[in-house]
Amino acid sequence: MTEIKPLPLLEKSQLLEGKVGWKSPSNIALVKYWGKRAVQLPENASLSFTLSEAHTTTSVNYAPRMPEKPWITFTFEGKKEQAFSERISKYCSSLLPIMPFLNQLSFDIESRNSFPHSSGIASSASSMSALALCLCDIEQVLYKLENDEHAFFRKASMLARLGSGSASRSVYPKLVAWGRSKVISDARDEYAIPVHNVHPVFETFHDDVLIVSEEKKSVSSTAGHALMDTNIFAEKRYQQAEDHMAILLKSMGEGNLEIFGKVVEDEALTLHALMMCSDPSYILMEPGTIAVIKRIRAFRSESGLPIFFTLDAGPNVHILYPESIAKQADEFINEALRPLAFNNRIIKDVVGNGPIKFI
């Protein structure tokens, strides 16, 4: 299914009020999505770990729409948020061709993040996936659709993608792929899929996010993706991502940490290199980012321990390591890296089990 067939408008008898709620995690990309066409269709396949602790909790009260009531109200962390409300209204309007019933209801949406806004953890992935899951759930309830888990999550992934590309990957647990790739025959650009057959070492991987800076990003990801349209390395980059998918999936099947780490670090640095050579150019790493990366590499070569880094489109460093070295990694991070963190802040996370319905 790559096309969503819209359901007919709700009959009067189906127009009911109710409440749904989903908790959905953020994710960290191992192979990066950077470059898109149309509405969040990726130029290359990407692969991510779903996180556990970093999540958004969203609940939606819905009722038959009344002309005197606003279509959508949005409360974030207990406060009415006009700007977010507008973004969500725009998103829901964009969904009307595939979910026309959204126009027949009004929505009071409440959302909370488990992590701070400025932490460099992708809040659009968790928030857009939580909202997409709620909307699919409402559709399921009002149309009394049969319980087809596979179809439900696939649709949620597609809807989440329309909100933010990386959000498509947050609806599944553990390791998730999104985007056409020769190495995964059922992977598609329209939605993400869970990746199985991964060595157990990756099921409990740690991701400690070291906060280098809490400043707002100087370029939004949407603007960043657009820079790839004129980047002279774009085609080579898309080929590299495809090659990385193949190497990474093989190494993750075999439990080969050395190759895993090499590819993941290469991906992070390529993402930043692409931004540096974009027009206009952006340097999103800070001196602290480089200092942390160098210490991780030095410690790895001295100790022989499998501890690696990745980066998002920002200065904060995601430190990746297997559960088996958690004790040594903790000691190293606390002694050598924490002093480099802004306000000594490190947010600890691990690979997680995907979204949970709580209402």
- Alpha-helical (H) ranges within the chain are 82-95, 123-142, 149-163, 221-227, 234-254, 257-276, 287-303, 326-332
Q: Decide: is 124 part of the binding site for ligand DP6 (CB under 6 A).
A: yes
Q: Which of 21, 25, 120, 165 binds ligand DP6 (CB under 6 A)?
A: 165
Q: Cβ of residue 161: shortest distance to ligand DP6, in angstroms?
A: 8
Q: Which of 164, 170, 213, 310 binds ligand DP6 (CB under 6 A)?
A: 164
Piece of the chain touching ligand DP6 by CB under 6 A; list 9-17, 26-34, 53-61, 195-203: 26-34
Q: Which of 24, 26, 40, 310 binds ligand DP6 (CB under 6 A)?
A: 40
Other residues' Cβ atoms within 10 Å of the Cβ of residue 3: 7
Piece of the chain touching ligand DP6 by CB under 6 A; list 66-74, 136-144, 158-166, 343-351: 158-166
Piece of the chain touching ligand DP6 by CB under 6 A; list 11-19, 75-83, 162-170, 297-305: 162-170
Residue 244 CA to residue 236 CA, distance in Å, equals 12
Nearer to ligand DP6, 105 or 128 (CB): 128
Q: Cβ of residue 30: shortest distance to ligand DP6, in angstroms?
A: 9
Q: Decide: is 35 part of the binding site for ligand DP6 (CB under 6 A).
A: no
Piece of the chain touching ligand DP6 by CB under 6 A; list 33-41, 98-106, 134-142, 331-339: 33-41
CA 305 vs. chain centroid, Å, equals 28
Q: Decide: is 174 part of the binding site for ligand DP6 (CB under 6 A).
A: no
Q: Which of 22, 33, 62, 152 binds ligand DP6 (CB under 6 A)?
A: 33
Residue 302 CA to residue 158 CA, distance in Å, equals 44
Other residues' Cβ atoms within 10 Å of the Cβ of residue 173: 17
Question: Which amino acid belongs to residue 337?
Answer: L
Residue 229 CA to residue 331 CA, distance in Å, equals 43
Binding positions for ligand DP6, 284-323, rule CB under 6 A: 312-313
Q: Rounded to whole angstroms, what are the CA distances from 104 to 19, 140, 171?
A: 16, 15, 26
Q: Decide: is 32 part of the binding site for ligand DP6 (CB under 6 A).
A: yes
Nearer to ligand DP6, 181 or 221 (CB): 221
Q: Decide: is 122 part of the binding site for ligand DP6 (CB under 6 A).
A: yes
Q: Decide: is 166 part of the binding site for ligand DP6 (CB under 6 A).
A: yes
Residue 159 CA to residue 165 CA, distance in Å, equals 10
Query: Is 304 buried (19+), middle (13-18) or exposed (0-12) by CB count in 10 A?
Result: exposed
- Report the candidate in 178, 162, 167, 107 with the shortest Cα–Cα distance to residue 139: 107
Q: Decide: is 181 part of the binding site for ligand DP6 (CB under 6 A).
A: no
First-to-last C-alpha distance (Å) of the chain: 28
Q: Decide: is 222 part of the binding site for ligand DP6 (CB under 6 A).
A: yes
Residue 162 CA to residue 168 CA, distance in Å, equals 8
Using CB positions, name the residue nearest to ligand DP6.
Answer: 165
**List of residues contacting ligand DP6 (CB under 6 A):** 29, 32-34, 40, 46, 122, 124, 164-166, 221-222, 225, 271, 312-313
